[in-house]
Structure 1
Amino acid sequence: MTLTVRPRRRFRSVPAFLVSALAAAVLVTGVPSAAMAEPNEVGSSKVAQMRKTLDSAAAQYLEAEGLLEASKTQQRELNQKLAAAENRYARSRASIVKYAAEAYKSGRLGVVGVMLNATSPDEFMSRTAALERMTARDEARISEFVAARTEIDQTKGAIDAQVKEQSKQLAEMTKLRKATERALSAVGGYAVDGWVDPYAPTAAAAKRNRDGSWPKESCSVDDPTPANGCITPRTKHALLQAQRWYHYYVSCYRPGDMYEHPKGRACDFSSEPNGFKNFSSRGENKLYGDKLASFFVKNANRLGVMYVIWYCKVWVAGSGWKHYSAAGGNCGDSPAGDHTNHVHVSIL
């Protein structure tokens, strides 16, 4: 019996129309492309103005909040210092009162009499030395008394200054909160409830200045996401902290729009595993977005989060959750604009 072998087919180039069809199929199956990595968040001119106001007001709010916390910390330290000084003052005052009573009873002549009653030069010198030691001790008590009183007065003055500074920062925060409310109201940003995961992880705090304020940062470090641009060190810190627990696709730097992306101060976290899709996430992926948004809200003070946008809601520092819609209409009509396919976070 003769064995036959099927002839090997020669490779032929794939027609151009078939390449286009395959590319379209890849997009449908969810492999991220450059276009998918850049969700278009631009809405109406009112939304653009609102986002600009949020950027400014939230940034200033975080600065005031940091200074307020630093002032409260310093006040607590001053209160401890004041308590210690008041204890020293009370002890030295009791010693001085006792000394004054004894001096009044004995009188200066009594002290001279003790000296004159010495029976020998050696005894006289001994009593003189003892008197000098007593005088030095009493002078030390008096000095401690005066020093404690001075420290009390100075510390109380410093505490009063901190209270005044706190009132100033609280007033500033109230003003900025009202500015945020007005900006959100202009685009229908009514208050809404936002779910926050009570078990959201705790992030490591970003670096602050010694006075509690946030360091000024520029777009100076490489963006480790596929966006391949630059971001600020604080944005990178927030990104890396989030990626300890949340591993879906993310893109940060984006040139050419008016928001924080070209400044390196914002990231978009896809709520779908493999990239941004042109539909609203549901089920487990919606829950993933909920938990990620909760993470940034919970750690806003630690990471310097100005605002978070997710699923037709925006959380703003000092204002809480508000309704958000870039395109109008029903929530999810524009998955990118309404942020139903990704979580946006802006960092100070």
Structure 2
Amino acid sequence: MESPSSTRPRRVVRVRRPALALIVAAAAALVTTAGTTPAQADPGDLGRLSKLNKQIAQLDKEYGGDLAKLKDAQYGIKKARQKQRLLQQDLDSARIIVAQMAASQYMTGTTDPAVAVLASDDPDNVLNNASLVSHVASNQAAKVRQIERLVAEQRKAREEYERKVQELEKDIQDLRAQKRRVQALIKKFKPESPSSGMGGVTPRMLKVKNTIDIEFGPFPIIGCVRLTGDPQDHATGRACDFMVSTGGTMPSASGKAQGDRVAEYAVANANRLGIKYVIWRQRIYDVRSPGWRMMENRGGITANHYDHVHISVF
């Protein structure tokens, strides 16, 4: 059996530099499926998102502050955009790797094969281009399939991103269409100032807290004023979290039922108590844009509001 260090003569074929460039290009071309092109981000996306963000900031001021539903949509768009960019990077890198692997299999020595092929003035160690392309086609099938999956995933990510942007645009339009109703709510429940001597909550939030506690308590704990993390209305004393379990654990059946009752009561009595929105089990109900809506996955039981009902007031 011939050893790797054998000096036995072998047939080599001289391949000129222009031919090598064509071979590597041909190898890279093998990784795309016929008729498919990776989806590229629209150059106007950043301007489109900037416009939407400005609209949300303006509505936030006009509609009583903390439009949590729209901000959650912003969060989802940001995640979708990041996913799309990462997939495109993976796709581009994988295409290059396939071309490099095609050349690497036929190089000798310890030098980086891909660099040696492209930089050498005497690439006699490379097999003829027909053999090289044949090798890519037959032995890089797994990598080609990976690229095909990436192409499909990248397209799907782009579609998901576009869907989320369109949903946000629709939400903004719907909210503007209800401007009179929302302004009437704001006039009825004019935002109150933070207080002292009551734990920092506003009088309206204190009334809602006491009402919920009397109707559905006791709770393991009720958390109101908070300045850390994403404080939402907690920072201004206009929100409380009614915990139905502690320690970041899923609530028991009775705890879930308690949370269901609290959320249902808060929505049903929102106009009487001045409640702005309710979050429970990764869903949000905003009285300014009525109806329960799923929220983005924040990655945890507490972050997704499975262990507490969040109530914000005007």
Task: Assess same fold via TM > 0.5.
Answer: no
Per the normalisation by structure 1, the TM-score is 0.38
Larger relative contact order, structure 1 or 2 (CA cutoff 8 Å, min sep 6): 1
Per the normalisation by structure 2, the TM-score is 0.42
